[in-house]
């Protein structure tokens, strides 16, 4: 019987209450010591062959009869108004089929009316001016150069702290600060506690803009059939794209189909319908032919989103024994030109440690730069970089071991809600990570030979990862004894198909080879949430298990009638029916195909609500071993140890990929990755993979990782939590603390490049211990 339940879901540091409809009873979680045959085992990716042979079809690969290609003309200025726009020469070029501008398309409001799809006011260098559709990409590129635009340049601002001032150039009518005011949080009296603290530290930190650089750029292919639209999209949220397109174009949801079978990375930047999708859909309707629109690498780095820059002012207070008494943070985060939400660099400061007096003031500020987008733990990576360095500064001032200071302020309940954590394996992560890196012996390993200095550092991690409803799944049992799982989720390269197959095979008692998973299609699937914020597995996995259980129970009931045996005397194992009293197991096809012929069993599953009395979070600790050359400022990462707790481990192989990938991205954020702007022109100087320095194979150190494999009895029926975000969160902070340990001074501006290290070392000769 269906029932309506109120539940709370955590996503990227924010909590959302909603009502969901649940049908049937929620399954009891697998016990922590339950002997599982498929779950918890290293299982190769079920779609690995398609990925490595090229058989997998990405959005970029879609080819349709009569397909045209789109290209976008973008603003050359960070802030401008279009005075005149002449497209006649472009329209006359042979092969050009349509030119869209703000003059000839509907005024489609985006981001709740914050701006329009195309409009005469341009707010960053890269903002959309016009859209051309042509027979091929080369013709479209040539046509862009024929469009004549007269721009009125306007004053611009690119620094978020400067943009927050009333005197700065206004980017939106309602001002530059999101919602007109900062987001504030307070418990206790942080300012009074700082005045009364035995020991205090104070520091200013900055973090840079980082670019996602997904290997497959953003893009869509749009095709109409009558009044119905099909969109192939490189997205992390097919249902979000469907909703966005339907709303923008005034279509009912059943008239929009979104397909995404494979995707070449997203990291949070592909969570909804892009302007490129809407422009391609409008153009396809106008010309009556499919339109293919994929961003170039330069466009990807100008307009597809970024991890926003931050400026953070931190003050900590403590007793002489290391007890934290006060945390105060004021931060400024640059949103770029457009955004509906701000990131939360204050999340770690509010949650990581026991502290009675905490105040965070977070300004989310519009600037004349490319718009931000979620990027793997938005806010928490930037906040941890600063906060965990500040904790090390405090440890240094207290003459305490940094690990001991963290253990001194360890807490088993969520300091914001007061609720106990469902599981918290951070203490074990500390112990195991310290042993693997040789933390207790690190002083004997430090070298000071010539210009080489070796150092060790660590950092803690907290994140959500609970997932939540609504999420649905179907399980079809075919009459040959095979099963098909159907959901509307997305495999964004993380192995979702594989882990869902493992869960279904475990619950059904089938070999994994007999289970297939179909996803990534709004028409064929059932609703699932976006694949971001470490939500996919803990949201969709439990629904898959319920669907498989429902199908299994139906199968056992049918088998009992066909075989004329009590249901409780029949068990499913290895895809066979083991019947009490029979010498040999019975093949499923003997029951389904031979006796019932074309009969099909369909099991239904839905994700249940999150626990009301527990806080579901993920935890981890990382340790870094580095060598710094004090003559050149170069940093060599010798080793990273990552130990994390995210509930039950479903597949050690796919989790290992997640941990290693997160650490490598964190390494890039720590040392090399930075979007560089010309402050005088507002232009991006490195929108490419030649000058934007992502880590290569030669930059990757030894990475040793382990999971604290502890089933969470309250999170969901799997006992599993998400792991997509956690591994990137503490990496940069651990590296920064290791560099400080090596050279004796903190570098507080990211990324930590050789010139900043040399500047910091030079400063220590004058005085001071951070730069």
Element (H, E) at 527: none
Measured in degrees and rounded to the nearest 5, phi and psi for residue 764 equal -65, -25
Tell me: cis bond preceding 591? Omega within 30 of 0 counts: no
DSSP notation for 254-272: GGEEEE-SB-S--TTS-SS
CA pair distance 693, 241, nearest whole angstrom? 31
Instruction: Verify whether residue 690 is a known catalytic residue.
Output: no
Beta-carbon-side half-sphere exposure of residue 577 (alpha carbons within 13 Å): 27
Q: What is the CA radius of gyration of the chain?
A: 27
Beta-carbon-side half-sphere exposure of residue 56 (alpha carbons within 13 Å): 17
For residue 21, CA distances in Å to 6, 132, 522, 714 come to: 9, 44, 19, 20
Q: Are 438 and 360 in contact (CB under 8 A)?
A: no
> HEC string of 645-677?
ECECCCCHHHHHHHHHHHHHHHHHHHHCCCCCE
CA pair distance 1, 5, nearest whole angstrom? 13
Place of tokens 């006796």: 595
CA pair distance 715, 31, nearest whole angstrom? 13
DSSP notation for 171-186: SSTT-SBGGGS-EEEE
Residue among 230, 235, 260 nearest 531 (CA): 235
Q: Are 13 and 344 in contact (CB under 8 A)?
A: yes
Question: What residues have CB less than 8 Å from 767, skipping those under 6 apart?
Answer: none
What is the end-to-end Cα distance of the chain in Å, rounded?
A: 62
Place of tokens 């720590």: 670
What the block records as the tokens of 611 is: 């626990």
Could you give the dihedral angle defined by the CA atoms of residues 713, 717, 721 and 724, in that order, rounded to the nearest 10 degrees?
Answer: 170
Give, as one character, the DSSP assignment of residue 217.
P
What is the number of residues in the chain? 771
Catalytic residue among 161, 300, 673, 725: 725
CA pair distance 211, 216, nearest whole angstrom? 14
CA pair distance 389, 396, nearest whole angstrom? 11
Question: What residues have CB less than 8 Å from 315, skipping those under 6 apart?
Answer: 194, 200, 201, 202, 326, 327, 328, 329
What the block records as the tokens of 649 is: 């481990």
Burial 289-302 (b: 16+ CB within 10 A, else e): bbbbbbbbeebbbb
Q: Are 64 and 58 in contact (CB under 8 A)?
A: no
DSSP notation for 243-311: HHHHHHHT--GGGEEEE-SB-S--TTS-SS--HHHHHHHHHHHHHTS-EEEE--HHHHHHHS--BPPEE
What the block records as the tokens of 466 is: 């609970």
Please state at what angle helix 754-766 crosses helix 731-743, rounded to 10 degrees. Answer: 40
Catalytic residues: 725
């Amino acid at each position: 019987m269906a029932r309506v339940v109120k539940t709370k879901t955590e996503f990227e540091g924010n909590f959302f209450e909603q009502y969901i409809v649940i049908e049937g009873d929620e399954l009891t979680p697998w016990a922590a010591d339950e002997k599982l045959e498929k779950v918890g085992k290293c299982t190769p990716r079920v779609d690995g062959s398609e990925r490595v042979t090229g058989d997998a079809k990405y959005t970029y690969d879609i080819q349709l009869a009569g397909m045209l290609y789109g290209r976008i003309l973008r603003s050359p200025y960070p802030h401008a108004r279009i005075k005149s726009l002449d497209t006649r020469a472009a329209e006359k070029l042979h092969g050009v089929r349509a030119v869209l501008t703000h003059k000839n398309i509907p005024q489609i409001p985006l981001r709740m009316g914050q701006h329009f799809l195309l409009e005469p006011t341009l707010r960053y260098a890269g903002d959309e001016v016009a859209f051309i559709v042509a027979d091929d990409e080369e013709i479209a590129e040539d046509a862009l150069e024929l469009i004549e635009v007269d721009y009125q340049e306007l004053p611009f601002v690119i620094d978020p702290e400067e943009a927050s001032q009333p005197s700065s150039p206004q980017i939106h009518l309602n001002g530059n600060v999101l919602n007109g005011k900062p987001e504030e949080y307070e418990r206790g009296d942080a300012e009074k506690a700082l005045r009364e603290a035995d020991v205090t530290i104070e520091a200013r930190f900055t973090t840079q803009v980082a670019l996602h650089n997904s290997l497959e750029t953003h893009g869509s292919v749009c095709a109409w059939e009558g009044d119905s639209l099909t969109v192939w999209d490189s997205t992390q949220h097919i249902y979000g794209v469907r909703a966005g397109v339907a709303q923008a174009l005034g279509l009912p949801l059943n008239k929009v189909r979104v397909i995404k079978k494979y995707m070449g990375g997203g990291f949070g930047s592909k969570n909804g319908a892009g302007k490129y999708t809407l422009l391609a859909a409008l153009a396809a309707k106008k010309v009556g032919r499919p339109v293919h629109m994929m961003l170039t690498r330069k466009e990807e780095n100008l307009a597809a989103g970024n991890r926003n820059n931050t400026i953070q002012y931190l003050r900590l207070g403590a007793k002489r024994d290391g007890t934290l008494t006060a945390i105060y943070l004021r931060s400024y985060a640059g949103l770029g030109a457009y955004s509906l939400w701000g990131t939360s660099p204050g999340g770690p400061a509010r949650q990581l440690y026991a502290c009675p007096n905490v105040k965070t003031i977070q300004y989310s500020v519009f600037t004349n730069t490319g718009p931000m987008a979620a990027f793997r733990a938005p806010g928490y990576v930037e906040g941890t970089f600063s906060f965990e360095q500040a904790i090390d500064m405090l440890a240094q001032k207290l003459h305490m071991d940094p690990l001991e200071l963290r253990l001194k302020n360890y807490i088993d309940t969520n300091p914001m809600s007061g609720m106990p954590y469902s599981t918290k394996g951070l203490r074990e992560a500390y112990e195991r990570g310290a042993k693997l890196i040789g933390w207790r012996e690190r002083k004997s390993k430090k070298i000071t030979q010539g210009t080489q200095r070796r150092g060790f550092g660590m950092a803690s991690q907290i994140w959500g990862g609970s997932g939540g409803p609504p999420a649905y799944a179907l399980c079809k049992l075919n009459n040959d004894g095979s099963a098909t799982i159907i959901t509307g989720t997305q495999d964004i390269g993380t192995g979702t198909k594989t882990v869902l197959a493992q869960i279904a095979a475990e619950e059904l008692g089938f070999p994994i080879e007999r289970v297939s998973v179909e996803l990534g299609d709004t028409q064929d699937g059932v609703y699932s949430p976006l694949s971001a914020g470490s939500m996919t597995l803990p949201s969709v996995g439990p629904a898959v298990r319920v669907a498989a259980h429902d199908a299994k129970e139906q199968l056992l009931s049918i088998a009992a009638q066909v075989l004329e045996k009590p249901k409780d005397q029949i068990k499913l194992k290895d895809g066979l029916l083991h019947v009490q009293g029979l010498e040999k197991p019975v093949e499923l096809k003997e029951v389904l195909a031979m006796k019932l012929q074309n009969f099909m069993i369909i099991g239904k599953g839905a994700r249940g609500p999150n626990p009301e009395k527990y806080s579901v979070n993920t935890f981890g600790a990382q340790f870094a071993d580095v060598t710094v050359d004090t003559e050149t400022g170069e940093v060599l990462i010798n080793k990273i140890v990552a130990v994390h707790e995210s509930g039950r481990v479903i597949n050690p192989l796919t989790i290992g990929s997640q941990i290693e990938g997160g650490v490598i991205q964190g390494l890039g954020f720590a040392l090399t990755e930075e979007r560089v702007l010309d402050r005088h022109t507002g232009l991006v100087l490195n929108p490419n993979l030649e000058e934007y320095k992502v880590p290569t194979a030669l930059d990757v150190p030894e990475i040793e990782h382990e999971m604290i494999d502890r089933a969470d009895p309250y999170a969901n029926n799997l006992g599993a939590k998400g792991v997509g975000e956690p591994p990137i969160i503490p990496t940069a902070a651990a590296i920064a603390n290791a560099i400080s340990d090596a050279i004796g001074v903190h570098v507080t501006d990211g990324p930590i490049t050789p010139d900043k290290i040399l500047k910091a070392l030079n400063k220590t000769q004058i005085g001071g211990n951070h730069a």
